[in-house]
């Protein structure tokens, strides 16, 4: 039974969008505006996350081993390092490996380093990676107390500052997103309420001729979905174009090492999915909320 009328509701809800063209315009643009801001924040937060993760993965503590340490003492040191809290992995890198690494990073000028081939001044190193890179400071303190540790290298202040900035960024982003979702629901429910007041007569007549509440609700329910989806389509278009431009023109040309953005594919598809999802959910919630009081349920 319900399927026979589903087609009618489908057609009806679509027609209603055009019948109340101005209300539709108002609702769609308010959804579009809020989802645009929301989408902008999602783009920012997710990229900030991505950048932070990139930095987190690069965080390592390079433990320089005292030159006086004997072979068995170096081995003992490894197991001690592995037992330090928060340590994920420990890898040995001999002073020759270190020299090779330096050569690689110096590139063309690396011939200067040839003179050290016979008498390598570098230390053997343990490269320590952490489970939770944000606590690098604490792990470093624990490692310092181990015997035969000459010195530690982990970009002390910089790492800490960056983590603080991104942490604050994350919280502010999430807070703003939650706030915006509520504002959007409120906005749409208000616009739909106006649509319903404009159509109060229709609801009254539906009730008079014996329509069930479910029957009355259907077109409004679908209308909510349309409004939300249409409203989402605009910011999806704008954000996708802007992001794609930013990604291909700005970031790739600048080629800053740690400023890596999420690749547009699949990120933009995910973003579209999220915005359409949020748009239609708030559309439906708002329409159900605003029709309640007219139904005497």
Residues making contact with another protein (CB under 8 A): 1, 4-5, 8, 19, 201-202, 204-213, 215, 296-297
Going along the chain, which residue ranges are E strands? 60-65, 87-93, 125-130, 149-153
- The minimum distance between CB 13 and another protein, in angstroms, equals 14
Question: Closest CB to another protein among 80 and 207?
Answer: 207
Q: What is the DSSP letter of 257?
A: T
Give CA–CA dist 172/174, Å, rounded: 6
Which two three-digit tokens encode residue 141? 């303190």
* Nearer Cβ to another protein (170/207): 207
CB-wise, 103 or 207, nearer to another protein? Answer: 207
Secondary structure (DSSP) of 125-139: EEEEEESSGGGHHHH
Residue 40 · residue 239 · CB < 8 Å: yes
Least gap, CB of 249 to another protein (angstroms): 49
Residue 197 Cβ, how far from another protein at the closest point, in Å?
Answer: 16
* Least CB distance to another protein at residue 210 (A): 4
Q: Tokens 């559309």, residue?
A: 283
Q: How far is the CB of 201 from another protein (least distance, A)?
A: 7
CB-wise, 71 or 296, nearer to another protein?
A: 296
> How far does the chain reach from its first CA to its final CA, in angstroms?
22
User: Rounded to 5 degrees, what angle do the CA atoms 176, 180, 186 make?
Assistant: 155
CA-to-CA distance for 14 and 225, rounded, in angstroms? 10
Residue 137 or 204: the one with the smaller Cβ distance to another protein is 204
- Choice between 256 and 297, CB closer to another protein: 297
d(CA 229, CA 281) in angstroms, rounded, equals 9
Which one, 113 or 206, has the nearer CB to another protein? 206
| CA nearest to 123, candidates 146, 103, 152, 83 | 152
Cβ at position 218, least distance to another protein in Å = 11
CB of 20 to another protein, least distance (A): 9
């Amino acid at each position: 039974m319900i399927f026979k009328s589903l087609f009618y509701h489908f057609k009806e809800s679509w027609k209603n969008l055009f019948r109340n063209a101005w209300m539709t315009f108002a609702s769609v643009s308010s959804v579009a505006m809020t989802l645009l801001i929301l989408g902008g924040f999602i783009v920012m937060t997710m990229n900030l996350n991505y950048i932070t993760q990139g930095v987190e993965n690069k965080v390592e503590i390079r433990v320089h081993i005292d030159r006086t340490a004997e072979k068995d003492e170096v081995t003992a040191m490894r197991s001690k390092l592995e037992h330090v809290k928060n340590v994920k992995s420990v890898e040995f890198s001999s002073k020759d490996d270190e020299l090779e690494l330096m050569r690689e990073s110096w590139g063309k000028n690396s011939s200067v380093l040839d003179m050290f081939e016979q008498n390598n001044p570098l230390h053997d190193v343990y490269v320590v990676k952490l489970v939770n890179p944000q606590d690098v400071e604490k792990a470093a303190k624990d490692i310092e107390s181990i015997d035969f540790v000459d010195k530690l290298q982990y970009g002390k202040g910089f790492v800490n500052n960056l983590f603080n900035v991104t942490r604050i960024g994350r919280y502010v982003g999430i807070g703003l997103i939650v706030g915006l979702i509520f504002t959007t629901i409120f906005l749409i429910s208000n616009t739909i309420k106006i649509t319903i007041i404009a159509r109060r007569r229709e609801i009254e007549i539906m009730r008079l001729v014996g329509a069930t509440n479910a029957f009355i609700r259907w077109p409004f329910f679908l209308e909510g979905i349309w409004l939300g989806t249409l409203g989402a389509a605009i910011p999806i278009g704008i954000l996708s174009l802007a992001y794609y431009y930013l990604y291909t023109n700005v970031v790739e040309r600048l080629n800053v090492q740690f400023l890596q953005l999420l690749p547009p594919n699949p990120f933009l598809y995910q973003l579209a999915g999220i915005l359409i999802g949020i748009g239609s959910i708030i559309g439906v919630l708002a329409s159900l909320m605003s029709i309640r009081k007219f139904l005497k349920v």
